[in-house]
Amino acid sequence: MSRQQAGRRVIFIASSLAILLVGQVASAQAPASVQQLDEVTVEGQRLYQMRQRIVAAEERFYALYNELNKNDEFDVHCANEAPLGTRLRQRVCRANFIATAEAEFAVSFVAQLAGEAGGGSAKQPALVALEREPEYKATMLKVVTAHPELLRLLLERNKLEDLYNAARRKRFKRP
């Protein structure tokens, strides 16, 4: 070790000891009420973490709903998908009957492009959704009202979304 390095090390050790001694002297002179401070823990969440909690609550709700629902056509599944023309993924939840209608329409459209007989005969998925929406809503309402745990999960998810929206408004200074 060079003489210069040894000198720096002595200065570092001396300054460290001085900081420790000043802390001890200050705490010895402080009143007893100041020495007995309560520990405060502040936890903040980033918006993406809050969003993840909402998604987790939705997943718990749909998992239980799908288990309790007797009609598999009304089971709901979620996925992150990028709409046509963009790479930005969005969370999309849809009932099985809508996913089936979309698949049938896609097969029919491709068959029509290929010039096959019967191509283009499938209904538009949006029309299928409109036709089946009352039955789907009635089934969802019946299952949720029959199982208080589902209602609790819905309320939890809505509370998380309210907290998320409040944090967004505060962060981006929106009313």
21-48 pLDDT per residue, tens:
444 444 445 455 555 656 666 567 899 9
The residue ranking higher by pLDDT, 9 or 51, is 51
pTM over 0.85: no
pLDDT digits (tens, 9 = 90+) for 53-85: 999 999 999 999 999 999 999 999 999 999 989
Q: Kindly report, residue by residue over 111-157, the tens digit of the pLDDT.
A: 888 888 777 788 999 999 999 999 999 999 999 999 999 999 999 99
Per-residue confidence (pLDDT) for residue 48, from 0 to 100: 94
CA distance 73 to 95: 7
Q: Where are the domains of the chain?
A: 3-35, 47-171
What's the burial of 79, exposed, middle or buried (CB within 10 Å: 0-12/13-18/19+)?
exposed
